[in-house]
Amino acid sequence: MTDMPARRLLLVHAHPDDESINNGVTMARYAAEGAHVTLVTCTLGERGEVIPPELAHLTGAALGGHRREELAAAMRALGVDDFRLLGGPGRFADSGMMGLPDNDDPGCLWQADVDRAAGLLVEVIREVRPQVLVTYDPNGGYGHPDHIQAHRIATRAVELAAEAGCPVDKVYWNRVPRTVAEEAFARLGEALPGLPFERAADIEDVPGVVDDERITTEIRGEGFAQAAKAAAMRAHATQITVDGSCFVLSNELAQPLFTTEYYELVRGGRGPGDGEHGRESDLFAGIGNGDGIEEAS
């Protein structure tokens, strides 16, 4: 690519819809600010459970193709033009939930050779030269094999890219502070009688919830970014039903829709914090100016 913007953000996710749930505000904000936002999705989510009855006939490759269209619609809502499938469409299949026979499919992501898959991601890194990469923690947020594998691939790609002279300055994991989750679920419980959903999920159902002190960075969305996130999530109609400030997945358990997104910096220099908690308010904080940098612990 030529004439790349000064700020370049790369996100690595397992399936279509993960990016909108975890990072919709972040992606919309940086895209609107002129940063180059690149999304790499590792599978098409061919083994996802379909919510709408009228789409229940979609399975396997047909579902993957439909979810690819949903992903494109979500990216339009977020203002992101650069979105890719790792190794191209169909290179890695959805592995299904942990412990299922689907995990043994030799073509699924869970069975992929991490170094080879990471090499495909290195190609993207060499092209885009992102300063910041966002992905999951080692447990993939909640233990899904594709999320765990996406973490491994992203982590190894950062190592290989550095060896190739294309270092990524900062790496973040998706997070939710425990107190924020607790407060959001308390509000959800109060609102539940007036919602079309019968039951709420548990905090344990939310990927990446950790104690507040582990949060290094929070990205707040203005009105446009919040609306873009909700629209992007609605675009993933096979997987998500959105109603106001909450949503459900195929388990029909209501979860809060977070309009501030949180991160843990795990690689690179931590920039100056601001606000009540002293957290970074910019994923690019400290990059390129050397001011107020401290190593992430």
- Residue extents of the structural domains in the chain: 8-177+207-220+261-267
pLDDT in tens, 151-177: 999 999 999 999 999 999 999 999 999
What is residue 221's predicted lDDT score, i.e. its pLDDT? 84
Mean pLDDT highest for which of 99-103, 224-228, 290-294? 99-103
- What's the mean pLDDT in 98-111? 97
pLDDT of residue 292: 37
Residue 232: predicted pLDDT:
98
Average pLDDT, stretch 73-102? 97
How deeply is 269 buried, as exposed, middle or buried, from its count of CB atoms within 10 A (0-12, 13-18, 19+)?
A: middle
Question: Has residue 110 got a pLDDT over 60?
Answer: yes
Annotated binding residues: 15, 18, 147
Confidence of residue 2 (pLDDT cuts 50, 70, 90): low
**For position 99, what pLDDT does the model report?**
97
For 179, other C-beta atoms within 10 Å of its C-beta total 12
Beta strands 132-135 and 170-177 are parallel
**Backbone phi, then psi, for 17, in 5-degree steps?**
105, -30
How high is the mean pLDDT of the chain?
94
Percent residues over pLDDT 70 in the chain: 96
Binding residues for Zn(2+): 15, 18, 147
Question: Residue 296's pLDDT is what?
Answer: 52
Give CATH superfamily name and number for 8-177+207-220+261-267: LmbE-like (3.40.50.10320)
